[in-house]
Amino acid sequence: MRVLLIDDHPLILAALQTVIQGLGEDVQVLGADSAAQARETLKARQDFDLVLLDLNLGDASGFDVLEEFRSQYPSLPVVVISASDRASDVIRAIDQGAMGFIPKRTGNDVLAQALKLVMSGGIYVPPMSLGSDVAPEPEPVAALAVTDAAPGNPRMNQVQALASQAGYQTTAGLESLQLTPRQTDVLALLLQGKPNKIIARELGVSVETIKDHVAAVLKALGVSSRTQAVLAVGQMVQRQPSAAFTTFR
């Protein structure tokens, strides 16, 4: 796995490079200390598997760089890694296409799990309180994890596994949404961050049909965006630490 790490603080850049390279013998990390250097690096090399992006860069806004990279390199996963862990920053980053948000205070084990999750097609978000910029203490596992479906309703089990997120604990279940089987299919793929075109292709229906299903799912959840749907489902599912990071596709 080849990773581009963008951070303008030399000590943090060096420390993160060491940590990430220690995740496996096949991990190679190239550092960039500015948005300008990162742009030049990506122009020169097209073989990166992942970008880790700090929000506070000296020559550009991390959010602007995130939007730029998602537009220019749509198949390249970008994960925000930041000293901030405010819920508003997490939501904004995911809204702009980040495949994850990792606070720099995150432990090495969770960092490794988060990167594996993103590389397997999942979306990592840290534990947080919606509607508040005060983050809870970090817990060992917190993510939207892609796992094998258990017996029963495969798609509903997949949705529950995708939505299992440490830090949330409520009594309402996904069954209360009363989604149709097709809407449940759409929700499972939506939680993996897949756009409407890809969902339509995988389910063998038109994009317009998927738009209708997504609208119905958002209405059932009482939210207005995909990011809010991800977070809302995370709150609805019982806390199931063992479900996350169990089996990666």
Mean pLDDT of 173-184: 81
Residue 167 backbone class (left: φ over 0; alpha: ψ -120 to 50; beta: rest): left
* Shared domain check, 159 and 109: no
Highest averaged pLDDT of the listed ranges 16-20, 75-79, 121-125: 75-79
- 142, part of any domain: no
Q: Average per-residue pLDDT in the chain?
A: 75
**CATH no. for residue 217?**
1.10.10.10
- In this predicted structure, the answer to whether residue 171 has a pLDDT above a threshold of 70 is no
- Overall domain count for the chain: 2
Residue 128 has a pLDDT of 58
164, 243 contact by CB (below 8 A): yes
**pLDDT tens profile 110-128:** 888 888 878 777 778 877 5
**CATH no. for residue 63?**
3.40.50.2300
- 89, part of any domain: yes
- 249, part of any domain: no
Q: Give the pTM.
A: 0.61
CA end-to-end span of the chain, whole Å?
Answer: 16
Residues 6+ apart with CB under 8 A from 126: 85, 90, 101, 102, 103, 106, 135, 138, 142
- 100, part of any domain: yes
Comparing 8-22, 143-157, 165-179, the range with the smallest average pLDDT is 143-157
- In this predicted structure, the answer to whether residue 29 has a pLDDT above a threshold of 80 is yes
- 92, part of any domain: yes
**pLDDT tens profile 89-105:** 888 888 888 888 998 88
- 149, part of any domain: no
Q: What token pair was written down for 140? A: 């060992």
Residue 193 backbone class (left: φ over 0; alpha: ψ -120 to 50; beta: rest): left
- In this predicted structure, the answer to whether residue 47 has a pLDDT above a threshold of 80 is yes
- 219, part of any domain: yes
Q: pLDDT band at residue 174, thresholds of 50, 70 and 90? A: low
- In this predicted structure, the answer to whether residue 224 has a pLDDT above a threshold of 50 is yes
Q: pLDDT band at residue 132, thresholds of 50, 70 and 90? A: very low
Comparing 30-39, 89-98, 199-208, the range with the smallest average pLDDT is 89-98
- In this predicted structure, the answer to whether residue 143 has a pLDDT above a threshold of 50 is no
